[in-house]
């Protein structure tokens, strides 16, 4: 059933049951380090004008995007994630050996397997700690933060590295003007750490949800077990991202408002208490519509979609890093991050900012500019003459 066919009552986000609030967990959790990485290569709207039937004015007025970053070959998601992780670890004053777990949020992993998190752990020189990926689309960072928080609050972990890394340019069809103008590449990383029982919590509350009835609205159809790669799926362009833009837009505006209100209430706060609202950076019109419904003034909203486009799971983390870089976050500020994505999924995190203002050196280095030289060596060696798939001849037909 399509989400657009549901009644407004049926579409309402259902709050979690009484008694499941994060406050019941024991240890406070603080964000002690953040960092980001983006490819140094920019793809401007003017450049897109030479590739597809579009214009800078059309893109800007409908999305707010002026440019996006594109990873050059062979730069992959783990390379961007590794660069962002190094920045976050340095800012936190934490060594890789201090980490108890790594969680990577991505829908564009380097490989179907092994996980990008395992690749990242190896590059950090770590053996033995848990490392895994999760795929919740543009809500992925919110999902990863909650998973890390639950592990830390329970006492089973002390320090967790959370990374969101995407190379969406690998699954975007640059002949499709409806989608190729929207997406870019990037990564963000957060170091979450257990505080003492006497400390006030940093992470105040979370809210996650999903509605798989809208799975068809944002999908890469082929490449999985449903439609394995074949000459036919490649010819039909089924390995590219496909999106029903208007339906996703309506879902996004509604669910961002509802999830934000729920997470703020769960934190024992009001919407008016939000000092910095960091929404998923998909489209400036979605951000403006959600902010209007929440009654938040423009000066409390972080927007950087104009320079990066939609970087999926990385977008909220990248915006958080830039908000800190710009001096918009102060100790004691209430920060609310909220996102929506494929699945369909949604997620919000409310936190109280605890870090001191950045030093001039941190301002300069918080966002790493990655190049092809940052790429790791690819795994595996392709066979010289791959065997044809069942039912295919050797020429792929």
Distance (Å, rounded) from C-alpha 345 to C-alpha 141? 12
The two tokens of residue 199 are 């400390």
**Counting Cβ atoms within 10 Å, is residue 264 exposed (0-12), middle (13-18) or buried (19+)?**
buried
Exactly one of 118, 138, 180, 276 is catalytic; which is it? 138
Q: Which residues does 138 contact at the CB level (< 8 Å), separation at least 6?
A: 280, 282, 310, 312, 313, 315, 316, 339, 340, 341, 342, 345
Q: What is the DSSP code string of 146-202?
A: HHHHHHHHTTS-SEEEEEEEEEGGGS--TT-TTTTTTB-EEEEEEEEEEPPTTSPPS
Distance (Å, rounded) from C-alpha 184 to C-alpha 67? 9
Check: CB of residue 34 under 8 Å from CB of residue 188.
yes
Q: String of b and e for 22-46 (b: at least 16 CB within 10 Å)?
A: beebebbbbbbbbbbbbbbbebebe
Check: CB of residue 377 under 8 Å from CB of residue 86.
no
Is 175 labeled as catalytic in the residue annotation? no
Is 239 labeled as catalytic in the residue annotation? no
Reduce the DSSP state of residue 210 to 3 states and report it.
strand
Sign of CA dihedral 29, 34, 39, 41: positive
Distance (Å, rounded) from C-alpha 108 to C-alpha 165? 8
- Residue identified by tokens 């500020």 is 333
Reduce the DSSP state of residue 282 to 3 states and report it.
coil
Which of 184, 159, 175, 141 lies closest to 340 in space, CA to CA? 141
Is 330 labeled as catalytic in the residue annotation? no
* CA distances in angstroms from 87 to 60, 189, 214, 367, listed in the order given: 31, 8, 36, 8
Catalytic residues: 138, 280, 310
């Amino acid at each position: 059933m399509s989400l657009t066919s549901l009644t407004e009552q049926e579409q309402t986000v259902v709050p979690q049951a009484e008694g499941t609030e994060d406050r019941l967990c024991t240890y406070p959790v603080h964000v002690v380090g953040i960092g980001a990485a983006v490819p140094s290569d920019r793809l401007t709207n003017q450049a897109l004008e030479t590739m597809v039937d579009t214009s800078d004015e059309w893109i800007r007025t409908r999305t707010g995007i002026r440019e996006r970053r594109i990873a050059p070959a062979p730069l992959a998601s783990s390379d961007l994630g590794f660069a962002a992780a190094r920045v976050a670890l340095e800012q936190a004053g934490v060594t890789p050996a201090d980490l108890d777990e790594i969680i990577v949020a991505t829908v564009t992993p380097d490989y179907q397997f092994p996980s990008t998190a395992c690749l990242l752990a190896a590059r950090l020189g770590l053996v033995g700690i848990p490392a895994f990926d999760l795929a919740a689309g543009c809500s992925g960072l919110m999902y990863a933060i909650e998973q890390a928080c639950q592990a830390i609050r329970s006492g089973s972990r002390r320090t967790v590295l959370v990374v969101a890394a995407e190379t969406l340019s690998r699954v975007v069809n640059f002949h499709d003007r409806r989608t190729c103008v929207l997406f870019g590449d990037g990564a963000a990383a957060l170091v979450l750490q257990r505080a003492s029982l006497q400390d006030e919590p940093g992470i105040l509350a979370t809210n996650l949800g999903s509605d798989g009835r809208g799975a068809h609205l944002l999908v890469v159809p082929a490449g999985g077990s449903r439609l394995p790669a074949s000459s036919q799926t490649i010819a039909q362009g089924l390995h590219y991202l496909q999106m029903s833009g208007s339906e996703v837009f309506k879902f996004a505006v509604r669910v961002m408002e509802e999830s934000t209100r729920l997470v703020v209430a769960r934190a024992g706060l009001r919407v008016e208490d939000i000092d910095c609202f960091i929404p998923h950076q998909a489209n400036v019109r979605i951000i403006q519509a959600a902010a209007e419904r929440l009654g938040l003034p423009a000066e409390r909203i972080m927007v950087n979609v104009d320079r990066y486009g939609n970087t999926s799971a990385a977008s909220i983390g990248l915006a958080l890093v830039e908000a800190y870089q710009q001096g918009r976050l102060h100790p004691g500020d209430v920060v609310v991050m909220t996102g929506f994505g494929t699945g369909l999924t949604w997620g919000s995190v409310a936190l109280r900012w605890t870090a001191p203002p950045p030093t001039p050196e941190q301002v300069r280095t918080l966002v790493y500019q990655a190049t092809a030289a940052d790429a790791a060596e690819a795994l595996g060696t392709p066979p010289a003459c791959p065997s044809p798939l069942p039912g295919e001849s050797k020429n792929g037909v």
